[in-house]
Structure 1
Amino acid sequence: MTESLMRDVSDTARWVAGFRAIESARPDALFRDPLAAALAGPRGAAMAAATTMWPTVVRTKLLDDLILDTLARGCDRVINLAAGLDTRPYRLPIPAEIDWYEADLPALSAYKESVLAGERAHCRRVVAQVDLTDSGALTDFLVEATAGAGRVLVLTEGLLPYLTADAVGRLSTLLRRSPISWWLMDHWSPGVRYGVNRTLGRELGSAKWHFASSLDFFEGWTVDAAHSTFRAAARWRRSPLSLRGSALLPDHAIGPLERSRLWSGAVRLTPAGAQEPPAHRTSQETER
Structure 2
Amino acid sequence: MQGAKAELPRSNESSTSIRAPVYICGMDLPESPIYDISDTARWVAVYRARESERPDAVFRDPFAQRLAGERGQQIAGSMPFAEKNSWPFVARTWLIDRLISEQVRGGIDAVVNLAAGLDARPYRMDLPPSLQWVEVDLPEILAHKEEVLRKEKPVCALERVRLDLSDVQARRGLFLQLGRRANRVLVVTEGLLVYLTAEEAAALGNDLAAQPVFQHWILDVASPALLKMLAKKMAAPLDQAGIPLKFAPETGPEFFIRCGWEPKQIHSVMHAAAKIKRLPLFLRLIAMISPARFQPNRPWSGVCLMGRRVLERRPPTQADQAPTN
Asked whether the two chains share a fold, i.e. TM above 0.5, the reply is yes
Describe the SS at the equivalent of 1:74: coil
Residue-by-residue CA offset, 1:245-282 (whole Å, 9 max, x unaligned): 244257741xxx5x85544211000011189xxxxxxx
Please say if residues 225 and 296 of structure 2, whose CA atoms lie closer than 8 Å, have aligned partners that are also in contact: no
Please say if residues 19 and 57 of structure 1, whose CA atoms lie closer than 8 Å, have aligned partners that are also in contact: yes
**Bigger CA drift: 220-229 or 96-105?**
220-229
> Where does the alignment leave 5 or more consecutive residues of structure 2 unmatched?
1-29, 313-325
Describe the SS at the equivalent of 2:37: coil
Letter in 2 for 1:107: E
1:33 aligned partner? 61
Evaluate the alpha carbon distance shift between residue 274 and residue 121 of structure 1 in structure 2; reply closer, same or farther with a 3 A threshold: farther
Within a 5 Å distance, the mapping from 1:135-150 to structure 2 comes to: 135-150=168-183
- Of the two, which has the highest radius of gyration? 2
Amino-acid identity (%): 41
Equivalent pairs counted in the alignment come to 270
2:24 aligned partner? none
CA distance in 1, matches of 2:281, 2:143: 40
Residue-by-residue CA offset, 1:187-236 (whole Å, 9 max, x unaligned): 11111111122101233333331111122211221111111101111222
* 1:55 aligned to which of 64, 71, 88: 88
CA distance in 2, matches of 1:231, 1:154: 24
Letter in 2 for 1:184: I
1:43 pairs with 2:71 = yes
Please say if residues 232 and 247 of structure 1, whose CA atoms lie closer than 8 Å, have aligned partners that are also in contact: no
CA distance in 2, matches of 1:35, 1:161: 25
1:88 pairs with 2:121 = yes
Evaluate the alpha carbon distance shift between residue 144 and residue 128 of structure 1 in structure 2; reply closer, same or farther with a 3 A threshold: same
1:236 pairs with 2:284 = no
1:269 aligned partner? 306
CA distance in 2, matches of 1:98, 1:251: 36
CA distance in 2, matches of 1:197, 1:71: 36
1:167 aligned partner? 200
CA distance in 2, matches of 1:190, 1:260: 6
Residue-by-residue CA offset, 1:166-203 (whole Å, 9 max, x unaligned): 11010011111112100101111111111122101233
* 1:211 aligned to which of 247, 260, 264: 247
1:225 aligned partner? 265
2:223 aligned partner? 189
CA distance in 1, matches of 2:97, 2:194: 20
1:201 aligned partner? 235
CA distance in 1, matches of 2:192, 2:244: 12
Please say if residues 113 and 133 of structure 2, whose CA atoms lie closer than 8 Å, have aligned partners that are also in contact: yes
Please say if residues 59 and 229 of structure 1, whose CA atoms lie closer than 8 Å, have aligned partners that are also in contact: yes
Please say if residues 104 and 132 of structure 1, whose CA atoms lie closer than 8 Å, have aligned partners that are also in contact: yes
1:75 aligned partner? 108
Please say if residues 235 and 244 of structure 1, whose CA atoms lie closer than 8 Å, have aligned partners that are also in contact: no
CA distance in 2, matches of 1:3, 1:70: 42
2:186 aligned partner? 153
Please say if residues 231 and 246 of structure 1, whose CA atoms lie closer than 8 Å, have aligned partners that are also in contact: no
Describe the SS at the equivalent of 2:264: strand
- Please give the root-mean-square deviation of Cα atoms over the aligned residues, in Å: 1.9
2:38 aligned partner? 10
Letter in 1 for 2:72: G
Shift of 1:55: 0.8
